Structure 1
Amino acid sequence: MEGNWPDPDRLQHWIHEQGMPAGEVGSRLGLSRAAGYRWLQRYGIAATTAPVPQEQIAARWRAGTPADQLAIEYRLPIDAVRDRLVAAAAMTASRTYYVLGSSADPLPQDVLRGWYLHDRFSVSQIAALAGVTARQVRYRLARYHLSGGRPGPNPLLGRRLSQAMLTRLYDEGLTCAQIGERFGASAESIRALLAAYGIRRRTNGRRKRTAEAAPPPGMQKCPINVRAAQAIATARDRVAKARRLTAHARTLCQIAVDPDPGEQAPGPALVDRQAGLR
């Protein structure tokens, strides 16, 4: 077994030419019995099926024959064809890294589109076929807007939310979640669109602080401790004034109830003051 993919031709030789029982394939590969059965099933190899050379499948696929057509012609499951093609590439693939979009890039956009959307290869399968890493495949899917989920923004969202409109809403202080609610998108999609448009994100993604509203007329803006001290002083003045008025009222009431015999009765002005206090 080379790498992580056993050679399908070797397995077919064991099953069809040597007549090896399927239960012994795992031990010959240095794997468990269940792993041997699993690889035979993945490649569509059985004693009742005709052997299909790897070179033949790989050559026809490289010549432009779609994977689903190969599956029909060779009477193999479509998943078995994909795994066989991956195995053929995994044993000879070069792990050299290429510049995205260059002439030497082994995974250009049209090839990736055909494999991912038409042939329905998975990310790991495409990585093995192209000789790149799975992370590089995901990056290309996002870059070319071929992936339906993360990463990368939804292409339809960019049609409804232009760069100028998104810049204006973001500069107004709206968060990504609030913008997404308006356009029926997630906050992650809005963040991806910001990156695609090259719009600079706010620090830590926080909303800009708007200017504080001016204080009402007659109220000066001052620290909380100063306002608290002013309120305490005002309350003390009112309490002292109330105490003085209370003492004065008690004095007037005592004079009205029990006047001094040597003094004259209170005049009209004093009576009016007493009535007002009552």
Structure 2
Amino acid sequence: MPETKDDRWFSKLAAAAKDLIPSPIPSDKKVENALEKLKESREKALNHITQSIASEKVAMMKIADHMESAKRWEVRAQMATEQGNQTLAEEALKRKAQCVESVREWHRHVPSTRQQNIELTAKLQGFNVIVHRIIVLRDLLRSIKSKTELSESLSSTIKSLVAEFPDFSKDNERLMQEFNLLLEVADQRLCKLEQQVSHRVQSVINAGEKGSYIVELATQSCQASTSHTLKKLEEDLIKWRAEEARTDPQEDEDAYWRARQFYWATEKSVEYMKRSLEAINQIKLKSIGVDDIDSDGSS
């Protein structure tokens, strides 16, 4: 059957529509593999904290058991004394002393373990923000076709973070130093990458390249997820500030220490997330033809 004028018009329309819709852009395998390794490192850290918390709970149970035993032996010593059995009383007091020493021994490990658990949990919050920023960069890059060099940079950055991830067999002070350094270095590298990706995305949008609207959609999605995460962090910051203010360190040193650690960590996370959001916002502004704006909102 010969093609009619309407058929030809429809064929041209379909071809034009097909040309407007870009083919799916595959994920960069190197980036995905490196990101998976980074997540595995995070899981190891979480497992370490979980095991450490479990050990702390065991220690507290042992302390309670030995304290109870010490009380029982003291009662037995008193009963033996009342019965005139000095030998039995002395034996009971020896057993009580052993229980007291066991309590002291278990108590030596609890404060340092508890402090490390609090600090590590707080540091992991900052690390989660780093992972979020990496995922944002990955998603932005996935929306761009010509991004090989940037993908290589992102992959290299992730691999470096995996290689530099702290060794949990080290003492707490060195562990915290390494974690702090990891977060600072990661922030510096990601800031640079965010700027590079921002410029690349802007050039795609401004040049009106094929599939540029996909880039805009990816930017909007990243902006929304980052804004949501930032809002949650800011709410947490208010919560930890309030908890620190109402906690008396003389009455509950652990609670006060926990509030301070999480406040500091959340404050840093907010700082990191704001940088990420600023980079995304600049992409958004450029895409609609608006120049950079100052922090006060003026052009």
Same fold (TM over 0.5): no
Task: Report the TM-score when normalising by structure 1.
Answer: 0.19
Bigger Rg, which one = 1
The structure with the greater share of residues assigned to helix is 2
Which gives a bigger RCO, structure 1 or 2 (Cα 8 Å, sep 6+)?
2
TM-score of the two chains, using structure 2 as the length reference: 0.18
